Every structure is written in C-alpha cells, then in structure tokens.
Chains A and B, each alone.
Chain A
Amino acid sequence: MDFLLAPWPWYVAGPIIGLTVPLLLLMGNRKLGISSTLRQICAACVPARIPLFQYDWKKDSWNLFFVGGVLLGGFLGGVVLANPKPVALSGSTIAYIAQFNIAHETGLMPASLFAWQELATVKGWLLMVLGGFLVGFGTRYARGCTSGHGITGLSALQWPSLLATCSFFLGGILFSRLILPFILAL
C-alpha cells in the first residue's frame, strides 16, 4: 500500500495537470482557470455595483463545482493518502529554512507557520493574509493565474500568457530573494 501514499513524481503529476485543459474543452468548451472563481464568488456575494462583478457568474458555475473538487482532491491526497514522510526537499532548501527555525517535518506545509494561532503574529499575518490578498489582487489584475495563463494560455500558445508566466515567476523569484528572508526572520 506504500505506493499509494508516496508522492507522485513530476512526470506523473505534470501530464495529468496538462490533460485537464483538453478534457475541460471537450466537456463543453470550459477553460481551466481557477482565479476566475474568486471573481465569481465576489460577484455572487458582494458585487457592490462594481463593474467587474456585474456579469452572469451563474453561467460559469461549473467552475465552482470544479474548485469544490480541487478541495476534495486536496483532502484525498493530503489527508487520506497523506505522505508519511517529509517532502523530499533539496539539502539547500532544508538548510535555508532551518536558518529561520522552520522545521522540515511531515506534511506539505510547515505547521509552525500555517496554524491559527500564527495569525496573531506579524509573520503569520503577512504570510497568510497579505499573501492571500496579493494573490487575489494580482491574478484579477492579470486576468489569470498559474492555471489560466501558465497552463491553459501556454498550451494554447498565447504570447500574453507567456508574458504573464514570466512575470509571476519573476515576482516570486525577486520576492523570495529580497524580501521573504526578512519576513521569515521576524
């Protein structure tokens, strides 16, 4: 049974992720793009007469079912079939996070950072609240995220999506090098 609990190598996970694009198209011209669900939820719950949220969000309700499924997939992969071993990180990453007393333990996320009581700390607040806010703000500004631009847009050979993908990688690389170490040291 061990093989069910083991993490999937990149050459298994990657193609399955990629096949989602043609499958959704074949199922009814649906476009894989997860940041759209954030817009949909805003439109459904707090439209507040904002033009961005004045559209027929119900037409895309399939996407809400899709992300409900993503959450279930997270439960299946992260709880039911949870890897009993820590993520097999490279030695240099383990050494990097150890500088900030972040344990490299079992689980996909460091439990010492992503816990409810951490929301009361500046570090936890920046990681979860500021981080989440920037993800929501930036992806809507760019009209797409890793799935919509990075996977779908690049699969369809759309050059604006290549620009988006380079930009969010550049943002992540610069932030990780220049700013994140100061936040993790808090």
Chain B
Amino acid sequence: MKNWKYALVGMVFGLALTKGEAISWYRIQEMFRFESFHMFGIFMTAIPTGALTLWLLRKTNAKTFEGEPLVVPQKKYHHGIIIGSLIFGFGWALTGACPGPLYAQIGAGFSVVIVGLLAALAGTWTFGRFQRFLPD
C-alpha cells in the first residue's frame, strides 16, 4: 500500500508534462528545429529547480521523511551514454515521446501509443539480448 503515494506524485508529474505540452509530437518537432523557446524553457527551469533543491538538501544535511540519510544519484560514464543517447534521440524525433511521455500520451487518449510502448519494451529487451556483443 505504501507505493500508492508514488502514483500520486507520478500523476502530478504526468499532469505537468501534459499541460506543459512536453508530450506533444508537435512541440518536439518545434524543439528539434529550434523554432520556439517553449521546450527549452521547461528544461531550463526544471533542471535549476532540481539542482537548487538538491544543493539545499545537501547543505542542510536533510534526511528522508523516514529519517534515512539522502543518497544523491550518481551516473557513471560508459560509451553507451553517447551511442545509446544518440539512438534514443532518433526515436524521440520519430515518436515525439521519451519514455515518460509514452505513458502520458496513452493516458491522454492516444491509445495507439500502446504499440509505441510495446515497441519500446521490445527495444529494451533486444538491447538486453545483444548487450554482450555491443561496446559498453
């Protein structure tokens, strides 16, 4: 039952993605063509908001609501960061969706995106299947 609170946070996140039009195929085309500030505005406010609040949490030695020390996410370099992200960028231009918006687009009434989500699962599975043949 304790997981339901994450559904609530996800709903607010999904609502912001949707009402902010970040799940719009039109907006993604516009972004990649640098024809509007809108999507860049979202990134340029989301990231500093996250960075500033994380900095404050660290500065004040904040604990989780359950009193555990905070573990700030770390990301390691591997070549897949570049190769994989380029491939992901191609897919983002086609679908107008990164993984979060795939879910939100389905909710927003575009039921055919279920096929896009299944294709994304197939992509993830295929990567797993062939991972050992690919440069890390």
- B-contacting residues of A (Cβ < 8 Å)? 7-32, 34-35, 37-39, 41-42, 46, 48, 50-53, 61-63, 65-79, 81-83, 87, 89-90, 92-93, 96-97, 104, 108-110, 113-116, 118-119, 126-161, 163-165, 167-177, 179-180, 183
Contact = CB atoms under 8 A, between A and B. Distances in A.
B46 A15 contact: yes
B28 to A, nearest CB: 8
B59 interface: no
Contact of A167 (B4, B40, B82, B112): B82
11 contacts: A38-B99, A39-B124, A42-B128, A52-B127, A69-B9, A73-B17, A97-B29, A136-B120, A136-B121, A143-B84, A153-B73
A70 B126 contact: no
B35 A92 contact: yes
Nearest to B26: A87
A130 B95 CA distance: 9
Given A29-B70, A78-B104, A158-B75, A114 B113 contact: yes
B103 A71 contact: yes
Q: How large is the interface on B (under 10, 10 to 19, 20 to 34, 35 or more residues)?
A: 35 or more
Contacts of B46: 14-15, 17-18, 151
Contacts of A139: 84, 88, 98-99, 120, 124
Nearest to B54: A155
A64 to B, nearest CB: 8
Interface string B94-128: 11111110111111111111011111111111111
A72 B38 CA distance: 24
Given A75-B108, A108-B18, A114-B112, 14 more contacts: A16-B12, A26-B57, A26-B62, A26-B65, A39-B128, A65-B7, A67-B100, A79-B109, A93-B26, A134-B87, A134-B88, A139-B120, A145-B99, A171-B89
B108 A171 contact: no
A138 B98 CA distance: 11
Contact of B30 (A21, A67, A78, A90): A90
Given A69-B10, A90-B36, A163 B113 contact: no
B85 A34 contact: no
Nearest to B112: A116
Contacts of B68: 28-29
